[in-house]
Amino acid sequence: MLLWSLISLAIGCKDAQDTGLGCEPSGEPTLIVGTGLAGDFYPFEDGQTVGLTSAPQGGFGVGVRAKVSGLVVDEGDGNAPLPVLMETYLDGALSDSFTNTGATAYCQEDGSGLVWDLVVGFDRETYNSADDLIGLQGALATLRIQATDLDGATASGEVDVVIEVD
């Protein structure tokens, strides 16, 4: 009898598949720019001082994470591709724009998606060496990120930060 119950249960669950961690898009799409370590996320605040790092697209920029909601961030395995457009503005003028087509959103327990390993860069020709970065010390930069999911929904967020050159 126990064997028959287990077989019936297995057959009944044959079509029921785990669709990931439950990150279904709901509400208006939002994106928050921040930082973090491992699975943690800390939103940047306007006026926060941030350091620079090497950008994988070349040059230098600010390492960030993006926390999104209302977008598809789970294709059944806990993550989904989420291309992001990253722009940096200095004194209101566009300094750099880069689209990371290889970005991935990872479903979080709260239903949001987290994208890490992003660097919002500065113009690679103007700021191509450590000596060039001195001109960024204390500069107010606007970091703007826009993410687009597989369904074409977009979310964007921005923050004004103060650059600190170590």
Instruction: Determine the pLDDT at residue 9.
Output: 37
What is the per-residue pLDDT for 7?
Answer: 38
pLDDT score of 6: 36
Cβ contacts of residue 50 below 8 Å, gap of 6+?
35, 44, 62, 161, 162, 163, 164
Determine the pLDDT at residue 22: 63
- Do residues 91 and 154 make contact, with C-beta atoms less than 8 angstroms apart? no
Question: Residue 118 and residue 77: Cα distance in Å, rounded?
Answer: 22
The β-bridge relationship of strands 154-163 and 48-50 is parallel
Which pair of structure tokens corresponds to residue 160?
């004004």
pLDDT of residue 123: 94
Domains and CATH numbers, the chain: 27-163 (2.60.40)
pTM of the model: 0.84
Task: Fill in the amino acid letter for 130.
Answer: A
CA–CA gap between residue 71 and residue 60 (Å, rounded): 29
Per-residue pLDDT of the chain (166 residues; tens, 9 = 90+): 434 343 343 433 333 333 445 688 888 999 999 999 988 999 999 999 999 999 988 889 999 999 999 999 999 899 999 999 999 999 999 999 999 999 999 999 888 999 999 999 999 999 988 889 999 999 999 999 999 999 999 999 999 999 999 8
State how far the Cα of 64 lies from the Cα of 82, in Å rounded to an integer: 15
∠ CA 123-39-102, nearest 5°, is 45
